[in-house]
Structure 1
Amino acid sequence: MTFEVAINQQQYKTYTLSDSYAQSLIEVVPERGGIITKWRIQGQEIFYLDNERFTHPDLSVRGGVPILFPICGNLPDNTYTHGDRTYTLKQHGFAREMPWLVTNQSTNDCASITLVLTSNDETKAVYPFDFEVSFTYRLWGNSLVIHQNFQNNSSESMPFSVGFHPYFAAPDKTALQVQIPATEFYDQKTQSTQAFNGEFDYSRDEIDAAFKQLSGESASVKDTSRQLQLNLEWNNDYYNTVVFWTVKDKDFYCLEPWTAPRNALNTGDGLIALPPGDSLQTWVSMNITF
């Protein structure tokens, strides 16, 4: 059989989706924020993971593909107002910290797993909406596709944004050739707009660049030191922001598709407003070429 879904108990129950023909696999840990922790193709690790941080449930995961919902980025003072109430919501929201429920597995035409996060008293204390979010991770060949479904079970419109924060392994960032369909970005560190010519200064302590004026629906990063290229695509109907983030002397870069920039819950910029009873589907795709 080419496709397989296996389960093993490590610190957390871990689901391994594999394509033996392509020699590719991903590992998913539902109870740790529904995160994909590993992506390996032909023996090469595609993702970076800080294993030490991962073992501590009280620390945010630095690595793999954290899920950002119902916000991307942070809010000023971690607060927003809805109706006549002010709520506190931590950076990137709560989805990456909560356990997700596995509802389906398949090996028919790919290796896939579906995870669901449903609103509860804990989420409604910081985000007063009834929702059901389901993500399906699909692996085949050198491709990983994340299908997303959002269901608003509230009696009012539900504002949200969603995104991913994938950490890609990069031992030599000077070997990266970055292509993003934009000519400028907003530098979160200097609070200024900068022209973009495909290059970053990796000697800086931190790079936090938000590309909001996208002219296409794909981006790529070629790593000449590893002789591989990441190709990232997104559903242009909803995803409108790409963030490039990295930290000096760390062997990773993040290329993050977001449906709205930071603070959208306050500004409304790019925010999705899902009518009561409605659902919405979208997707993000990652592919590796050698």
Structure 2
Amino acid sequence: MITTLSNATLSASIKHKGAELYSLKNHENQQYIWEGDPAFWGKHSPILFPIVGTLKNNTFTIDGKKYQLPRHGFARDMEFQLIEKTENSATFSLLATAETLLNYPFEFELQIIYTLEENDLVIAYKVVNKNNSKLPFSIGAHPAIALPGDFESYAFEFEKEEKLTFFLLENDLISNTTKTLETTKNVVPLTFELFKNDALIFKNLKSKSLSILKNSKPYVKVDFEDFPSLGLWTKDQAPFVCIEPWLGYSDTTDNSGDLFEKEGIFILDAHQTFDAKFSITIL
């Protein structure tokens, strides 16, 4: 099933599977979300929960007991329930099931709320801890922004001037090797060479927004005030780039395996609620 929202400027469509943003168009019918061609990458904007990235050996431990989770967790592959809908907003909910409890032994509710506001699509996350104990989790976004035409006519523009140090992956885990992006007035031209070693992973950024420029003109902006980390990714020759606000990231190569000790993990107290949001603005 697909739910569609609209306002005077934009329309957005969300698949109930994974509560995944499927389409974001202006009223000239220009598409800003990647179409999901499996020849490159068969997704559009998956939710990453209850982990972001990859666990060492796809395994974690709680109180010494081993559990397994696939890359980016399970929420993106599950059917969400639409629990509230207006013309310009929709709220989707996912509850723990007997199946999820086998691999992630915690009761939770995950809500994803989409709201169109003028030129913005605001995507809010709500995580409810339904346990009498603490809930360890990570959560992240993975929107793929469609880049029609020449990939190298686009550029990133970071909000603030800063040293853009990112971490390299080693067998899908965060290594201790870093590199620094060269910028000119906070601008980084896009090339496929940038992504030759997979995603660029920034653990902490001063910038809380990132714009895509097309031929030096504003195209799309992603604001991520509530997220400390960011991933940037594409596939070779693919006409899209992912701007990924994250709370957490892959295991480090020296990770102990204990989920409560995982670098970047968020620990939510019993019966508490976590809220965060980011937005995609059409410029």
Q: TM-score, normalised by structure 1?
A: 0.84
One-letter amino acid of the structure 2 residue matched with residue 99 of structure 1: E
Question: Shift in Å at residue 267 of structure 1?
Answer: 4.6
Please, which of 80, 100, 104 is the counterpart of residue 123 of structure 1? 100
CA deviations on 1:45-84 (whole Å, 9 max, x unpaired) are: 101122558xxxxxxx733210000011111111111112
In the aligned structure 1, how far is the partner of 2:197 from the partner of 2:190?
A: 11
Give the 3-state SS of the residue equivalent to 1:168 in structure 2: strand
CA deviations on 1:9-62 (whole Å, 9 max, x unpaired) are: xxxx2111112x21x1111111x2111111111321101122558xxxxxxx73
Corresponding position: 1:40 with 2:17: no
Residue aligning to 1:280: 274
Residue aligning to 1:263: 251
CA deviations on 1:182-202 (whole Å, 9 max, x unpaired) are: 521112269520111224541
Residue aligning to 1:252: 240
Any conservation in 2 of the 1:135–1:149 contact (CA below 8 Å)? yes
Please, which of 221, 227, 243 is the counterpart of residue 231 of structure 2? 243
Please, which of 220, 243, 248 is the counterpart of residue 230 of structure 1? 220
The aligned length equals: 262
In the aligned structure 2, how far is the partner of 1:145 from the partner of 1:114?
A: 12
Aligned pair in 2 of structure 1 residues 174, 51: CA closer, same or farther (>3 Å)? closer
In the aligned structure 2, how far is the partner of 1:235 from the partner of 1:44?
A: 27
Alignment of 1:141-156 (within 5 A): 141-156=118-133
Corresponding position: 1:100 with 2:74: no
Residue aligning to 1:68: 48
Give the 3-state SS of the residue equivalent to 2:231 in structure 1: strand
One-letter amino acid of the structure 1 residue matched with residue 133 of structure 2: E
One-letter amino acid of the structure 1 residue matched with residue 272 of structure 2: D
Question: Shift in Å at residue 140 of structure 1?
Answer: 2.7
Alignment of 1:153-232 (within 5 A): 153-171=130-148, 172-180=150-158, 181=160, 182-183=162-163, 184-188=165-169, 191=175, 192-197=177-182, 198-199=188-189, 201-203=191-193, 205=196, 207-224=198-215, 228-232=218-222
CA deviations on 1:114-170 (whole Å, 9 max, x unpaired) are: 000000111111100000111110013221001111110112100001001111111
CA deviations on 1:186-238 (whole Å, 9 max, x unpaired) are: 1226952011122454146554100112013211111228x5522111233xx
Give the 3-state SS of the residue equivalent to 2:127 in structure 1: strand
In the aligned structure 1, how far is the partner of 2:107 from the partner of 2:266?
A: 15
In the aligned structure 1, how far is the partner of 2:206 from the partner of 2:196?
A: 29
Aligned Cα RMSD in Å? 2.2
Structure with larger RCO (C-alpha < 8 A, sep 6+)? 2
Query: Mean alpha-carbon deviation: is it higher for 274-283 or for 194-203?
Result: 194-203
Corresponding position: 1:139 with 2:116: yes
One-letter amino acid of the structure 1 residue matched with residue 135 of structure 2: M
In the aligned structure 1, how far is the partner of 2:43 from the partner of 2:151?
A: 16
Question: Shift in Å at residue 179 of structure 1?
Answer: 2.5
Give the 3-state SS of the residue equivalent to 2:103 in structure 1: coil
Question: Shift in Å at residue 246 of structure 1?
Answer: 0.8
Q: TM-score, normalised by structure 2?
A: 0.86
Q: Percent identity?
A: 27
Runs of 4 or more consecutive aligned structure 1 residues displaced over 4 Å after TM superposition:
none
Residue aligning to 1:79: 59
In the aligned structure 2, how far is the partner of 1:153 from the partner of 1:71?
A: 18
Alignment of 1:5-16 (within 5 A): 13-16=1-4
Query: Mean alpha-carbon deviation: is it higher for 159-168 or for 169-178?
Result: 169-178
